[in-house]
Structure 1
Amino acid sequence: MKELQDFTKIYQKELNYHIKDDSYDRSKTSLLTNHMLLTTEVAEVAELLRELFVITEKKISDGMEEEEAFKLAQEHISQDLGKEISDCLAYLCKLSNFFNRNMEEDFYNKMEEVRVRMTK
């Protein structure tokens, strides 16, 4: 994850996609813009999941077995889903980099927090 975060930092700076940090106003605008862009990408993931179920239901209504219909629908959206998840990850890396967070460390800490909460 650290390599991914480092790559993203360089890549986004190179393309001028990084969150601007030269003033409060630019940071505020950049953070809000990136928040909107991230939520747009999350919505695109949701749209693909909706498409998954629409395709599955259509194939079932056409007489296909449920499991086969679902598998074919998964295959249909898989590549686009990977692209949208990658877009989400890029924005999450960008936010983490802006706040000097280590995503891998934060992830494992959060998973442990959930584990502790669920085992109480």
Structure 2
Amino acid sequence: MKKLQEFSKQYQNEMNWEIKTDHYERTKASLLNNYMLLTTEVAEIAEELRKAFNMTNTLINEGMDEEKAFEMAKASVKNELGNEFADCLAYITKFANYFDIDLEESFYQKMEEVRNRKNKDVGIVKK
């Protein structure tokens, strides 16, 4: 993840896509703009999932087995879904770099915190 963050920093610099830091109002505007762009990319992930679910339902309605239909639908959105995840990761690394956060360290710390929670959510298994 450190390599990814460093690449992201260099890439954003090269493309002139860094969060602006020359004064507070411009920095605030840049942070908000990048946050809006991130939420747009997250919405695009939802759109790809919607496409996969719609395709699955169409294939099932045409007589295909549910599991096979879903596998085909997943394969059909895999590339675009990967692109949208990459876009999200680019914005997340941009924010992490701006705030000088080591994402790898933060990730493992958070997962350990979740592991040790007393009130863990329990997944519901459907028959």
Shorter-chain TM-score category? over 0.9
User: What corresponds to 2:112 in structure 1?
Assistant: 112
User: What corresponds to 1:99 in structure 2?
Assistant: 99
Between Structure 1 and Structure 2, which shows a larger proportion of helix residues?
1
User: What corresponds to 1:38 in structure 2?
Assistant: 38
User: What corresponds to 1:72 in structure 2?
Assistant: 72
Where structure 1 has 5 or more consecutive residues not aligned to the other structure, the ranges are none
User: What corresponds to 2:123 in structure 1?
Assistant: none
| Distance in structure 2 (CA, Å) of the matches to 1:23 and 1:96 | 19
What is the TM-score of this pair, normalised by structure 1? 0.97
**Deviation larger for 55-64 or 16-25:** 16-25
User: What corresponds to 2:10 in structure 1?
Assistant: 10
Q: CA deviation at 1:71?
A: 0.3
| Distance in structure 2 (CA, Å) of the matches to 1:84 and 1:6 | 20
* Number of residue pairs matched by the alignment: 120
Q: CA deviation at 1:111?
A: 0.4
Q: Secondary structure at the match of 1:91?
A: helix
Q: CA deviation at 1:119?
A: 7.6
| Distance in structure 1 (CA, Å) of the matches to 2:36 and 2:118 | 32
C-alpha distance after superposition, 1:54-95 (max 9, x if no partner): 000000001111011000000000000000000000000000
User: What corresponds to 1:29 in structure 2?
Assistant: 29
Where structure 2 has 5 or more consecutive residues not aligned to the other structure, the ranges are 121-127
| Distance in structure 2 (CA, Å) of the matches to 1:71 and 1:19 | 39
User: What corresponds to 2:57 in structure 1?
Assistant: 57
Over 3 Å counting, the alpha-carbon distance change for 1:115 and 1:13 in structure 2 is same
Q: Percent identity?
A: 55
What is the TM-score of this pair, normalised by structure 2? 0.92
| Distance in structure 2 (CA, Å) of the matches to 1:3 and 1:119 | 35
